[in-house]
Structure 1
Amino acid sequence: MEFRILGPLEVLAQDVRLDVGGLRQRITLALLLMEAGRVVTVDRLVDAIYGEVLPPTSKAQVQICISALRRLFTAHGRPGLIVTHPRGYILEAADDDTLDVRRFESLTTEAKRHRDEGDRETAVRRYREALGLWRGEAMAGIDSRPVRAAANRLAEHRVHTNEDCLQLELDLGRHHELVGELTALVAEHPLRERLRGQLMLALYRSGRQADALRAYRVARETLVEELGIEPNEQLQRLEYAILTADESLNGPARVKTIPPEPPAARPVPGLLPAAVADFTGRAKQLDAIQRELALAAENRFRLAVPIIVIAGQGGLGKTTLAVHAAHTIAGSYPDGQLFTDLHGGGYRQVGAMQVLERFLRALGVAGSDMPDGLEERAEMYRALLADRRTLIVLDDAARESQVTPLLPGNRSSAVIITSRSRLAGLPGAIQIEMDIFDSDQSLELLGRIAGSERVMAEPSEAAELSELCGRLPLALRIAGARLSARPHWSIDQLVVRLKDETRRLDELKHGDMGIRASISLTYESVGAEARRLFRLLAVLDTSMFSSWLAGALLGGSHFDAQDLLDELADAQLIETAGTGYGVHSQYRFHDLVRVFARERLAAEETAAERKAALERALATLLYVAEAAHRRVYGEEYLQVHSGVARRPLPRALVDQLVATPMAWYERERPLLVSGIRQAARAGFAELCWDLAVSAVTLFEARIYLDDWRETHEVALAAVRHAGDPRGQGAILYSRGSLHMTLKRLAEARRDFEEAIELFTQVGDDLGLALVLRNVAFLDRMSGRADEAETRYTHALDIFTRTGDQVGAAYVLHNLAQLRLDAGDPEGASRVLAEALALSRRGGSRRVEAQVLHRMGDTYLQWDEPGLAAEIFGTAIDIVRDFGDPIGETYVLCGLGVAQLRLGEVAEADETLRQAVRLGRACGDGLAEGRALLGLGELALSCDDNAHAVAHIEQALTVFHTLGIPAYEERARCMLDRARAATRPGGLTTVGGG
C-alpha cells in the first residue's frame, strides 16, 4: 500500500487508487500521515475536523472515521495499520516506499550529504528525484486548519529544496537550462529573494545583462509595493556586480578553485544548571519526556520541532524535573544544551532579545556580529541550529509569545519548557502535567533532606507534616531544610507550628525559598477581576466550587465567572476537580494556595464585602437547592420555607444544573453542609434553617443521617438564638423526621409535639399539616389507628385547602394503609386511585412510588400476586431512577412476597435477601424486619421450618426493639404457625401481609 500527500491525498493498493471516503475521513488520514509513527490525540483530530465549533458527537465521529479507515485498509490486506493508543491513534507507515513525503525527506538528506562531500552531480540527481515526487499542492482540497498548516510547511520545504538544487546546478554551469524554470518559480514565489538572485545570475551568465538588471528592478518594485522594504544586501550587491561586470560572476570554468579552509571548531554550549542530588519521584513524567523525545528522533518524517511543556502550579518541582530530564538525555544532543530562566511568574520577565543574545554568544557569535533586531537574532539563531542537535530548556515561561522566538527551526533539536500555564497555543507541544506528591514520595523527599532516621523515628508526625505541606514538593523541601538546619527539633515541633493556619506560610520559609513568594508571583500575574474572584473563593469553607457559585460570589454572571475561573486554572492557582463537565465542572484550591487566598481575602476585602459575598453565595445555593427539590417532589411540596430573599439564576442554567437532581445534590453535598454552618456563624438564621430543610431531600434519600443530625443541631441553635419560632418549628419537624427514620419514635414524638405548638403559635397551617401526618404515622405504628386517622384527616384538610397535591397524596396513601390494616382492600384501592392521580399531577415521582408500593400491598391482600408484582416492578424502576435506597428496600419486600406467591421461589429468595441487605445498610429496621418476615414465609412454603422460625424470631426482635406493636403481633402469629409446623404432625398455613 502506498500513501501520497505531496499533491492531492491518494492511497494506492497494488497501483489501484482507493476511495478514502468523505472530507472527515480525508482530514483524519491526512493528519495521521503527517504524524506517521507518532500518536495523534483525539483532541487534535477533533480540532482538525471541526475547528472551534464542536458538535456533542465530535469524538464519536472521530471514532467512526477511524473505524471506516481500518475497514478500508483491512479489506486491502493491511489490518492493524492504525493502532489505538491511550491518548489517540498511530498510523504505522513501514518505510520510505510507503509514504512519498518520507521518500522526499530521505532523498533530500542524501542530496545534502553528497553536496557536503563535494559530489554535486549526484546531489543534483537526488534533489531532482525528490522534487519529482511532487504532484501539486500538498494535500490539495483538504480544508482543515492543522492540515493546511502542515501543507504550508511542506511547501516551504519544497521551495527551499528547489533553491538548493538550482544553486548546485548554477555552480555546475547549467545557467542556460535554468532560465525558464527560474522565471516560472519567481512568478510563483515573487517574494523569494534567493530565487530572484538565482534568476539574475542565470540571465547574466547567459549573456543577458540587460534582462538580469531588469529582473532586479522588477524584484525591487515588487518588494517595495508588497512589503515596503528594499531588496536585501546580497541582492543589491549582486546588482552592482552585474552593472560592473564583476569577474566573480562568471561561470565555473572561469572561477579559480581555491581549496576551502578547514572549518573552525564549533562551540558546544553547556548551560544546564547542576542536577538536584535529592531528586525524588516523577518517574512517570520522566519516562514520558524520554519516550516522546526518543519517538521524535526516530520519526524521520516529522518536520516539527519536538516540544515538551511541563505545566503545573508553583512549587511542584517543574524546574527540578526539567533539569533532571535534560541531564538524562543530554547525550542524545551532542551539539550542546542551552538553558534560561524566563522569570515568567515575576515582575521582570526576561525578553527574547536578551535570551537570544546569551544563546548566540554561547553558539560562538561575536558581540560585533550580533544583530540588533529580534527577528534578525531569531533568524541567526535558527540558522546556527539548523544542522545541530541541541537541547534547549526554557524555564518558567509566562506565555507562548515569550518562547516562540526561541524555538529552533528544525526537528533535530528539542525543547523542554516549564510554565505555570499550559501554553496550549504551541502547536504540537506534548503536555506533561505535574501534580502534588503522593504520601510515599512526600516521606521519601523529607527523609532525603531531613534524614531518613528522623522520619522513621516519628512516622505519624512525618506523615502529618507532609499533609500540612499539602504534599507540595517545594513546601516539603522547605520543611525538610528547616529540620536539617535544626537537628535539635523534633518533627512534631514543626507540625505544631504549621497547624496554626495563620502562620503556616510564615513557617514555610527557609533562606531564599518561600511558599508565599512563589504563590504571590502567580497571583500578581493574573488580571484584577481574577484576583478578586481568587480572594472571594476563600470565603467558602468548601473545597469545591463551580462557575455558578463563583458568579454569585462576584455578584455577576456565571459566564464571566467561568472565564475568570479558567484564567485562574491556566495560572495554576486553582485546579479542575472531579469528573464534571460543562456547567457541572468543579474547581478546587491546593491547601497551601487556600491559605494564601485567605490571607489576601483578609488583607484586601472588608468585612462587609466578605459577608455580602457569602450571603450572595448562600442565597444562590438555596435557590438551586429548591429547584432540585422540585424536580424530585414536584413544586414546593412537603417542605416549609423561610421568607429570606433568594438570588435567582437564569432558568436555562438551573435546568441544566438540576436536570438530574439527586446527582446535583450529591455533587454539592459538601457545599450544603458547610454552607449551613457558615450561615449560622454569620447570623443568617433564615438562610441557615431553610438550607438545612432543603438538604434533607439528599440526606433522607441517600442515608446521610450524620449530616442530617449535625446540620439540624447547628440550625436549631441558630434559630433559637435568633428567636425565630417558625424556623424552630421547621427544624424540629425535620429533626423529628430523622428520629422517625431511625425508629426513635419517642424522641420523634417529642420534637413533633413541640413543632405543633410553634406552628400553631405562628399560624403556619402547612407546617402544622406536615407535622400532623408524621404524628399520625407514629400513632399507626403504635397501634392507635383511630388517632392516626383523625390526624391524617386533619392534615388532608389543610393540604387540600392550600392546594398541596403531593402532601394530599402522601396522606391519602397512608389512610389507605389504615384501610388495609382493617382488612378493607377495596376501600384502600379507592383512596389509592385518588392518591396516584394527585401525585402525578403534582409531579412527585417519589410519592408516586410510595403510592404504587401501597397499591402492590393491596393486590397482595386481594390475592392477586401477578398484579402486585407488576405494580412493584413499576415502583422499583422509579426509586432506582432517582436513587432512594430506603424506598427500594420496601418495594423489594413487597416484590419478594409477590414472587413467592407466584411460585417463583428462587427469585423470591434472592429479592428478599437483597431487601434484608439493603435495609441493614440503610439502617431502616422496619424494612429489614418486613424482609425477614418475607423470608420466614418463604421458608414455611418450602417446609424449611427451622429457617422459618429463625427468620421470624429475628424479625420479632427488630420490631420489639423499635417498639412497633402492630408488626410485633403479626410476627408472633407467624412464629406460632412456624413453631407448630416443626412439631410432629404439625400443619403449615402460609399467608398474611
Structure 2
Amino acid sequence: MTDELRFELLGPVRAWRGAIELAVGGPQQRAVLAVLLLRRGRLATVEELVDAVWETDPPSRAVGVLRTYVSRLRTVLGPDTFRPTAGGYLLDVPAGRIDAELFADRLATARRSADPATAAELAHRALALWQGEPLAGVPGPYAAAQRDRLAEERLAAVEYRIEAELLLGRHARLVGELAELTARHPLREGLRASQMLALYRSGRQGEALRAYADTQDLLVEELGADPGPALREVHRQILTGTVPTPRGPEAAAPAQLPADVPDFTGRAAETQQAGRVLAAAGSGPMRLVTVSGPGGAGKTTFALHLAHRTRAEFPDGQLYVDLRGVGHPARETQAVLAGFLAALGVPVDRLPDDPAERAALYRSTVADRRILIVLDNARDAAQVRPLLPGTAGCAVLVTGRARLVELHASHAVHLEALSDRDALDLLGRIVGRDRTAAEPGAAADLVRLCDRLPLAVRIVGARLAARPGWPIATVAARLADERHRLDELRAGDLAVEATILLGYAPLEPDVARAVRLLALPDAGSLSVRAAAVLLGVPEPAAGATLERLVDLSLLCSGAPGRYHYHDLVRVVARKLAADAEPADVRSGALLALLDDQLAAVKNLLRVSVPGSGPLVEQLAPTRSRGPVLADRAAARAWLAAEHSVLLATVSQVAAWPEPPVGPAADVLFGLRDTLDWDHRWAEATHAVRAVAAAAARVGDARAEGRALGLTCTLLQARGLPADAEAELPKARRRALAAGDPLNVAHIGRLAGSLAMSMGRPQQAAALWAEAMAAFEEACDRGCVATVLANRAAALAGLGRFDDALDAGERARAVHRELGSAEGEGHALHNLGWIARRAGRPDHAVEYHRASLAIFRAERYQGRGMGWMLLRLGEAELDAGRPVDATASATESVALLRTLGDRVGLGQALGVLGRALAATGDRAAAVNCWREGHTALALAGSPLAADLAELARPAAGVDAGPAAPLPDRSPGGGPPRGPAELAAAR
C-alpha cells in the first residue's frame, strides 16, 4: 500500500508513510522512537524509557518531557500506532515494517538455505537495507548498546555472505573487499580465513600465507593467544594443497560500461526513481527500465550515469551494447548474444547456431546472477526481447527514441528538455560559471534557443569554450535567426540536425509527410482536428499518426488531445518541408487551417453570443463546417484551448507576400465579443496590428478597417483610452470606404464608450444613439441592447436618472429575452452605477450583487467583472458597509491587475483605499492611493488628479477619514466583452 508506515533504524532513525518521510523530531524524540521500535510488541515502561534516553542524568521534568515526545509521535504516526497500556507505551507495528527486523529475517532465511547462491543473494538483500551507522545521531546509553549489537550483526552477515560467495567460486572479486575488511577488523579470524582462501584461489598463495603470519603475530601481541582452530585449518589446507574446490568456476565479471560523463547535470528525480527500481533487482521478477526521448535529449548519457551509480548492486558484472536502432543497420540479435556469452565466459565452440537455442543459452548463463544489462539505442521491442533475462537478479536498462510500451517495463523514463536551471548549470560547467554569471541574460537566452536540449547546450558550450574571448551574447544572437540556427548547432562530429534526422529517416512516407506539414503552423500546440485539416485526412487517422509520432519522440503531448514540437525538432521539420513540399502545398495547408478556424468562430458565436446572427452573416464564407460546439460551455472550452492557435495563425499568414487578409481579419472580428474570455491582450494586439498592416499593404479597406477597429478595442481593454481614441478616426474612415456598415456601427459603439471614459457623457449619448440606429438597421438586437445599456449610463451622467433607469431596464429585458446571461449581468452592473449616482446606494448594491451572481454562475472573469466589483465597493461604501467594500475592492484589484487594465486598477485601488481608511487602516489606504495614482497617470487618465492629493507622502496616518473621491467617471464595466468600457469609467 502506498500509505503504509515503515521505519528505518539501520542508519538515521526515520519514518515513512509511503514515499513521504515523516518528521519524527529531534535526537531525543528519535531515541524514544528507537526504543519503542526495537521493543516492538513489548511494553516499555516510563522508567525504562527515561533510563534509555538519559540514564543517570535525567532532567527534573523527564517524565513530562517523555510524555510530550510520545504525544508528538502519536500525532505524526497516527493514534492507531500506539496500543493503550498501563504504566508505559507499546508501539503496534505490523511485521515487515522495520528495516532492522527485515534484516534479521532475511539473514535467518539465508542461513537456513542449503544453496550457496540463494544464501548469498538473501544475505546481499539483507545487507542492502543498511544506510550507514545504525541509530545514527541518537543519544543515550540504550542506543549506544543497540548500536554495538546491530553493528556486530551486520559484520556477521558480511562474513556469512562472503563464505557463501567463496563456495560459488567468486574469490577474485572478493579479494579487494576482504583487504579492506581485515584492515578495519584485524582480529576477526573469520574474515582473515576468507581472505586467505580468496587469495589462494586467485593464485596468490604467498600473500595468503603472509596474511596468516601477520594475524598470528597480532594475536600473540594483542591477546597473548594463537589463532583458533578454524584459521589454523585453512592455513594447513593451503600448506598441503588440499583447499576444497568451489562449486562453480569463476569467470571474470564483465565490466563493459562506457565511461560516465564528468559533467552530468540535472535529471535528479528520474535518476533516483529509476535507481530504486534497478537496485531492487534481487527481489521479485526481472527489473526492466526503459529510457525514451527525442534525439539530443541525453538518453545514452543518462543511462550510463544511472548504470555507474548502481553498478555496485550488480557484482556479477555489467554488459553493454549499442543496438544502433537509428541511423545505421541495426545490430543482429545473434551477434549481440554471441558477444554477451563470450563476455560471460562461454567458449565460442559452445554457441548454438539456432537463434532460439542461443537466446536460451544466454538466459541460462545469466540465471541466478546479478548482472546489469544496458541495451542502448534500441530500434523496437522485437530487437530487445531476445536479450532479456528470464529470472530475477538481473536488471535491464533500455534506451531508444520509441517508448517501447510493448515491453511492459518495471519503470519507464521519458526524457524531455532540461529545466532552465539545469540547462544553465550544464552550460556553466562547460564554459565556466564565471562566464555565465557575467552574462546571465544572454546565457538564459542561449539555453532557451537551444530548446534546453542537452546535446544543443553541449554543442554551443563546446564552441564557446573553444572561443574564450567571445561574448555569450554573440552566439545567442546567431542562434536567434531560425534560418541559421541549425548551422550554429554543429561542433566536430556533433550536430543537432543530424541527430534529429536519424529519427526521421526510417519513417514511412505518410508519417514523414505528417512530420513536415504539422511543423508549418507557428502555433505552440495543435489539436487532433487541426492536424487532420493540415494533413487532409479524417480525424481518427490524424490521431493515430500523432500518437505514433509521440511514441517515436518526434512530437510531445502535454495534455490529452494536444500535441507540439520541441523547438529544434520544428526547425528541422520546417526545413524538410521547404525542401520536400511545394510552396502551394505548404500555403494550402495553412489556408485550410485558417478556413477551419473561421468556421469554428462562427459556430462559437452561434452557441455562445445570443443574437449574433447578423455578425455571423457578415463574416467571410468558409469551405469547412468547423468543429461541432454543442453549447456555451463547449465553446468556452474550445476557445480556451485554441485562442493562442488562432492568433498565431492569423499573425503568420499576415506576413505572407500575398496574405489572405479577409478571412484573417474576420477570425479576429468574429472574436470581438469573446476576447474578454481569454485575456491575452498583447497577443491579440500583435495579431490585429499585423493584419491591419497586411491589409493596408494589399489595399483591402474592409479587412484594414476591421483590424483597426479591433486595435482600438484592445487599446481600451488595456486601459489606454486616449490612445484608442487617437486611432479610431482612421478605423472609421476605412470602414466607411469599404462600405462595411456593421463595422461602422461597432466603431460608433466604441467611440461612445471612449467619450464616456474621457468624461464626455453628452457626446457619448449622441454617439451611442447613432450606433443603436445602425445596429437596429442591421437587425442586431444583441448589440442594440448592449448600446442601450451604455446609453443609460450616459443619461445618468447627464443627470437624467429616471430615463437612465428605464433604458437600463429595457436593455436588461432584451438580453434576458435573447438568453444572454452575461449581457444581463452587464446591464445590471450599469443599473447599479445609475442607482448609486441617483443617490440610492442600497438599490445600487442590490443591482450589483444580482450582476455578481450572474457572473459567478457564468464563471465570467472578464474586465466587466473587475469593474462591477469596483462599483459594488463604491455602493457599499455609500451604504455604510466599509468591511464589505474592502472585500469587493480587494477582489477587483486582484482581477484588474491580472488583466492589465491600468485605468480600472487605478480606480479600484482608490476605492480600496477609501474602504481601508473607513475601517481605520489609514496607512494601508495611503499605499493604495499612491499605487492607484501611478496606474492612472501611466494610463494618461484625467482621474489621476483625484488621487494625487491623497497619494502625497505627507498624507498622515492621523488625518482622519478620507473624503469620497470625486465621481467624474460615469459608468460601470463593459456590457459584453472588452468592446467598450460602457459606463465603466
Q: TM-score range by the shorter chain?
A: 0.5 to 0.7
Q: Which runs of 5+ in 2 are unaligned?
A: 5-14, 20-76, 84-93, 120-243, 971-985
**Residue 275 (structure 1) aligned with residue 260 (structure 2):** yes
Structure 2 CA distance for aligned equivalents of residues 738 and 516 of structure 1? 41
- Counting only pairs closer than 5 Å after superposition, residues 43-442 of structure 1 correspond to structure 2 as 113=115, 263-266=248-251, 268-297=253-282, 300=283, 302=284, 304-442=285-423
2:370 is paired with a residue whose SS is coil
2:289 is paired with a residue whose SS is strand
1:15 is matched with: none
Contact residue 868 and residue 898 of structure 1 kept, 8 A: yes
**Residue 733 (structure 1) aligned with residue 709 (structure 2):** yes
Q: Aligned pair in 2 of structure 1 residues 692, 78: CA closer, same or farther (>3 Å)?
A: same
1:339 is paired with a residue whose SS is strand
Structure 2 CA distance for aligned equivalents of residues 359 and 750 of structure 1? 78
**Residue 502 (structure 1) aligned with residue 483 (structure 2):** yes
Q: Aligned pair in 2 of structure 1 residues 92, 800: CA closer, same or farther (>3 Å)?
A: farther
Q: Aligned pair in 2 of structure 1 residues 628, 989: CA closer, same or farther (>3 Å)?
A: closer
Q: Which moved more, 1:875-884 or 1:918-927?
A: 918-927
Deviation, structure 1 residue 642: 6.1
Structure 2 CA distance for aligned equivalents of residues 900 and 617 of structure 1? 52
Structure 1 CA distance for aligned equivalents of residues 646 and 930 of structure 2? 42
1:836 is matched with: 812
Contact residue 874 and residue 911 of structure 2 kept, 8 A: yes
Structure 2 CA distance for aligned equivalents of residues 669 and 735 of structure 1? 17
1:659 is paired with a residue whose SS is helix
The residue type equivalent to 1:736 in the other structure is C
Structure 2 CA distance for aligned equivalents of residues 477 and 575 of structure 1? 22
Structure 1 CA distance for aligned equivalents of residues 904 and 810 of structure 2? 26
Q: Aligned pair in 2 of structure 1 residues 412, 777: CA closer, same or farther (>3 Å)?
A: closer
The residue type equivalent to 1:290 in the other structure is G
Q: Which moved more, 1:700-709 or 1:561-570?
A: 700-709
Deviation, structure 1 residue 385: 1.7
Deviation, structure 1 residue 379: 1.6
Post-superposition Cα deviations, 1:436-461, rounded to whole Å, max 9, x if no partner, equal: 23345445444555566666676665
**Residue 623 (structure 1) aligned with residue 599 (structure 2):** yes
Among all aligned residue pairs of Structure 1 and Structure 2, give the percentage whose two residues are the same amino acid: 31
1:432 is paired with a residue whose SS is strand
1:904 is matched with: 881
1:63 is matched with: none
Structure 1 CA distance for aligned equivalents of residues 705 and 118 of structure 2? 94
The residue type equivalent to 1:554 in the other structure is L
Post-superposition Cα deviations, 1:934-969, rounded to whole Å, max 9, x if no partner, equal: 67987998999999999999999999999999x999
Contact residue 720 and residue 903 of structure 2 kept, 8 A: no
From 785, 791, 802, the equivalent of 2:778 is 802
TM-score, L = length of structure 2: 0.66
- Counting only pairs closer than 5 Å after superposition, residues 889-968 of structure 1 correspond to structure 2 as 889-912=866-889, 914-915=891-892, 922=899, 924=901, 927=904
2:406 is paired with a residue whose SS is coil
**Residue 888 (structure 1) aligned with residue 865 (structure 2):** yes
Contact residue 655 and residue 690 of structure 2 kept, 8 A: no
1:269 is paired with a residue whose SS is coil
Structure 1 CA distance for aligned equivalents of residues 399 and 274 of structure 2? 12
The residue type equivalent to 2:687 in the other structure is T
Q: Aligned pair in 2 of structure 1 residues 627, 843: CA closer, same or farther (>3 Å)?
A: farther
2:38 is matched with: none
1:134 is matched with: none
Structure 1 CA distance for aligned equivalents of residues 674 and 725 of structure 2? 23
Deviation, structure 1 residue 430: 0.4
- Counting only pairs closer than 5 Å after superposition, residues 581-620 of structure 1 correspond to structure 2 as 582=560, 585-620=561-596
Deviation, structure 1 residue 720: 1.8
Post-superposition Cα deviations, 1:538-565, rounded to whole Å, max 9, x if no partner, equal: 2122332222222221122333222212
Contact residue 906 and residue 932 of structure 2 kept, 8 A: yes
1:189 is matched with: none
1:316 is paired with a residue whose SS is coil
RMSD: 5.0
Deviation, structure 1 residue 489: 6.2
Deviation, structure 1 residue 393: 0.8
Structure 2 CA distance for aligned equivalents of residues 382 and 946 of structure 1? 78
Post-superposition Cα deviations, 1:584-640, rounded to whole Å, max 9, x if no partner, equal: x43322222122112111111111111111111222223334444555533537958
1:394 is paired with a residue whose SS is strand
From 492, 510, 515, the equivalent of 1:529 is 510
1:525 is paired with a residue whose SS is coil
Q: Aligned pair in 2 of structure 1 residues 608, 110: CA closer, same or farther (>3 Å)?
A: farther
The residue type equivalent to 1:331 in the other structure is A
Q: Which moved more, 1:602-611 or 1:485-494?
A: 485-494
2:544 is matched with: 563
TM-score, L = length of structure 1: 0.65
Structure 2 CA distance for aligned equivalents of residues 927 and 459 of structure 1? 36
Contact residue 458 and residue 491 of structure 1 kept, 8 A: yes
The residue type equivalent to 1:589 in the other structure is Y
1:673 is paired with a residue whose SS is helix
Q: Aligned pair in 2 of structure 1 residues 905, 272: CA closer, same or farther (>3 Å)?
A: closer
Post-superposition Cα deviations, 1:919-947, rounded to whole Å, max 9, x if no partner, equal: 56656566467657867987998999999
Contact residue 642 and residue 686 of structure 1 kept, 8 A: no
Deviation, structure 1 residue 808: 1.3
From 700, 707, 710, the equivalent of 1:724 is 700
Q: Aligned pair in 2 of structure 1 residues 501, 109: CA closer, same or farther (>3 Å)?
A: farther
Post-superposition Cα deviations, 1:51-87, rounded to whole Å, max 9, x if no partner, equal: xxxxxxxxxxxxxxxxxxxxxxx9998999xxxxxxx
2:654 is matched with: 680
1:416 is paired with a residue whose SS is strand
**Higher RCO (Cα < 8 Å, 6 or more apart):** 2
Q: Aligned pair in 2 of structure 1 residues 379, 685: CA closer, same or farther (>3 Å)?
A: same
1:279 is paired with a residue whose SS is coil
2:373 is paired with a residue whose SS is strand
Deviation, structure 1 residue 685: 1.2
1:552 is matched with: 533
The residue type equivalent to 1:899 in the other structure is E
The residue type equivalent to 1:429 in the other structure is S
Q: Which moved more, 1:862-871 or 1:540-549?
A: 862-871
Q: Aligned pair in 2 of structure 1 residues 78, 369: CA closer, same or farther (>3 Å)?
A: farther
Q: Aligned pair in 2 of structure 1 residues 488, 109: CA closer, same or farther (>3 Å)?
A: same
Contact residue 946 and residue 965 of structure 2 kept, 8 A: no
Structure 1 CA distance for aligned equivalents of residues 935 and 356 of structure 2? 85
Q: Which runs of 5+ in 1 are unaligned?
A: 1-24, 30-36, 42-73, 81-90, 118-258
Contact residue 926 and residue 958 of structure 1 kept, 8 A: yes
Contact residue 338 and residue 393 of structure 1 kept, 8 A: yes
**Residue 714 (structure 1) aligned with residue 714 (structure 2):** no
Q: Aligned pair in 2 of structure 1 residues 110, 308: CA closer, same or farther (>3 Å)?
A: farther
The residue type equivalent to 1:911 in the other structure is S
From 808, 825, 830, the equivalent of 1:854 is 830
